[in-house]
């Protein structure tokens, strides 16, 4: 499990990573170059949090569209410590109920949904409706680079 300050640090690093990827003009939806670069950098970041990481790891979950039938799907990235899942990440450019379901059912202390799409309102509304207990940590990547400082000069 990550501490609260470590989670805050992780969220800040993810936002910065996403903004830097946006600045580099990587494009693509689904399994495109942006998504792939995000996965690779999350895997590399795991060591900073004393974790090991895997990409595209299979999960079993109940698909809400198929009335609870179990399905297999991949988690974009999983961080573990001593083979115990610590953080599960999904990275999406669209609001996907299957991604949410995978996170909701994941056996990890932390569940992070990284969203780099344009429909931020739809993403937030979906989470408000489907995650009232806030089990999933949403990280919204702004479409443009936003510096974390102000220039008063």
For residue 143, what pLDDT is reported?
A: 75
> Higher-confidence residue: 132 or 24?
132
Quickly state the pLDDT bin for 153 (edges 50, 70, 90).
very low
**End-to-end CA separation in angstroms for the chain:** 42
CB atoms under 10 Å from CB of 105, counted, come to 14
- Alpha-carbon span 9 to 5, nearest angstrom: 6
pLDDT tens column, 93-147: 999 998 898 898 888 899 999 999 989 999 999 999 999 999 999 999 987 655 5
pLDDT at position 57 over 80? no
Residue with tokens 């910065």: 16
Pick the CATH number of 4-140 from 3.40.50, 3.30.2450, 3.40.1350, 1.10.760: 3.40.1350
What average pLDDT does the chain have?
84
DSSP bridge pairs for 88: 78, 111
DSSP 143: S
pLDDT at position 31 over 60? no
Helical packing angle, 120-130 and 97-105, nearest 10°: 40
- Edge-to-edge strand ranges of the sheet holding 52-62: 52-62, 70-81, 84-92, 110-115, 136-140
For residue 63, what pLDDT is reported?
A: 52
Exposure class string for 26-54: b at 16+ Cβ within 10 A, else e: eeeeeeeebbbbbbebbbebbeebebebe
CB distance 55 to 76 below 8 Å? yes
For residue 119, what pLDDT is reported?
A: 92
For residue 124, what pLDDT is reported?
A: 95
> Higher-confidence residue: 61 or 3?
3
pLDDT, mean of residues 58-82? 68
CA 58 to each of CA 61, 78, 85, 99, 127: distance values in angstroms, whole numbers, following the listed order: 10, 10, 13, 12, 23
Q: Where are the domains of the chain?
A: 4-140
For residue 75, what pLDDT is reported?
A: 85
């Amino acid at each position: 499990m990550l501490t609260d300050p470590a989670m805050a640090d992780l969220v800040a690093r993810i936002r910065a990573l996403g903004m830097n990827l946006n600045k580099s003009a990587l494009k693509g939806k689904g399994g495109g170059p942006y998504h792939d670069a995000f996965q690779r950098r999350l895997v590399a970041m795991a060591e900073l949090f004393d974790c090991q990481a895997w990409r595209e790891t299979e999960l079993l979950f109940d698909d809400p569209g198929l009335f609870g039938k179990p399905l297999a799907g991949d988690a974009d990235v999983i961080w573990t410590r001593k083979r115990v899942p610590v953080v599960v990440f999904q990275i999406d450019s669209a609001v996907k109920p299957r991604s949410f379901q995978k996170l909701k059912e994941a056996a990890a202390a932390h569940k992070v949904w990284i969203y780099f799409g344009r429909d931020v309102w739809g993403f937030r509304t979906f989470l408000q409706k489907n995650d009232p207990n806030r089990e999933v940590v949403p990280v919204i990547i702004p479409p443009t680079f936003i510096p974390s400082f102000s220039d008063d000069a």
